[in-house]
Structure formats: C-alpha cells, structure tokens
Amino acid sequence: MSDSTKTYLALGDSYTSGTSIAFPVNFPNQLADGIKAVTGKGITVKIVAQNAWRTDDLQRGIKRSDLDDTYDLISLLIGVNNQYQGLPLADFEKDFRRLLDTAITYSGKDQNRIFVLSLPNYGYTPYGAEKKEQITTELAMFNALTQSICVELGIDYYNITDISLEAENNSDYRASDNLHPSALQYAAWVSSIIDRVIAKLN
C-alpha cells in the first residue's frame, strides 16, 4: 500500500451499506471517490453495515469482522432501527457509547479521525409518511442524544437530516423502495461534509 493510500472504516446499517442502490454509489464509496478526486489520495473502504441492523447488531458485526488495527477515517451512522423497533433510548445510549469507544480504539485513540452522521428522517418518504410526526419527534430525540455525546467526547457530528427531508418532494432523492436514500441523495450528503472530512486526513 502506498503512503498516499488512506483507510476508511464505515460503520452502520442500511444507510451505510446502501440498501436498494448499487454498491459503488453508497455513501462510503461516494465519499472515498470524492476524496480521491479532490486530493488525489486513494481510500481503501471497509464497510461493516447491514440492512436492519440495530446498535447491538453492529457491535456484534464488528466483532465478527476481520479489521485492521487502526484506520485513518471512521464514520458511524446507526440508530434508526432502534427507533423503528421502539427500543428504549437509554439502551441505545449505552450501545452508542460502546460503539464510539470501539471507534476510538480503531482510530488509534485519535477522535479527530472519527465522525458521526445524524439519522435521516424516513418520515419524509412515502414509506414513513403515515407516521411522519411520530417518526420526526422520535428521531429528533435520538439525534439530540448522539450529538450531545459527540460534543462530550470531542467527536465531530455532521447533520445530514435536513438533506433527507428533501426526499418528501423530490423522488430523485429516493431509492426504488421509496424508503432509502438514492445515490443522488448520498451525493448531497458527501458534498455537504467532504471538506471537513478531507481536513481530517491532512
């Protein structure tokens, strides 16, 4: 591996694996492509994420994965399935803190290498429209909690929730299942954060 090649560990659920879209255009791969286009630095992407994973599923998935000792960049996007299944926020907080501890370990104890993304609001999709108000209220609680934990631990938190709201009136922002983000929406996520992510690699 050349000195210019960086390593990126993307942790999450369907929003990270890219359910209902082609694998090369999921969020982590678009981010890696964007970084290479701007900096010329190659990014080796390792994704530990599956559709319907909760926080506890992700932790087990990490333990089962063959991972490097450290990564130059780590993202975490998790929690929507905890909310969807009506699981307690207190349990989510415990799991989320454990996941951040795990991320810190794989960052070589360098919090600057880590970033957390807010949860998209699927209430603004045809799938979630009937429970839009409830979903919005509950996801806001999850996002407020994760943001406060990130502030406490000195980990960057990026809000992409506002972008996800555009899926309500823009079908191009929705995948074919009318629930998950499309490649175009993921591109908008990447555009909104890429400068800050690149700064982490310098």
Residue 95 lies in a domain: yes
pLDDT value, residue 3: 57
Average pLDDT over residues 183-201: 98
pLDDT of amino acid 202: 87
- Provide the number of structural domains found in the chain: 1
CA distances from 165 to 120, 185, 186 (A): 8, 10, 13
Place 4 in a pLDDT band, splitting at 50, 70 and 90: confident
In a domain? residue 147: yes
Q: pLDDT, tens digit, for every residue of 80-123? A: 999 999 999 999 999 999 999 999 999 999 999 999 999 999 99
Q: Is residue 38 part of a domain?
A: yes
Closest by CA to 32, choosing from 83, 74, 69, is 74
Residue type, 185: Q
Q: What is the pLDDT of residue 1?
A: 39
In-domain check, residue 168: yes
Within a domain: 1: no
Torsion of CA 197, 24, 166, 163, to 10 degrees: -10
Q: Are 157 and 150 in contact (CB under 8 A)?
A: yes
Range of the domain at 181: 6-201
The strands making up 73-77's β-sheet, listed across from edge to edge, are 43-49, 6-12, 73-77, 114-117, 156-158
pLDDT at position 2 = 45
Flag whether 23 is in a domain. yes
pLDDT in tens, 19-77: 999 999 999 999 999 999 999 999 999 999 999 999 999 999 999 999 999 999 999 99
Q: Are 38 and 104 in contact (CB under 8 A)?
A: no
CATH number of the structural domain spanning residue 166: 3.40.50.1110
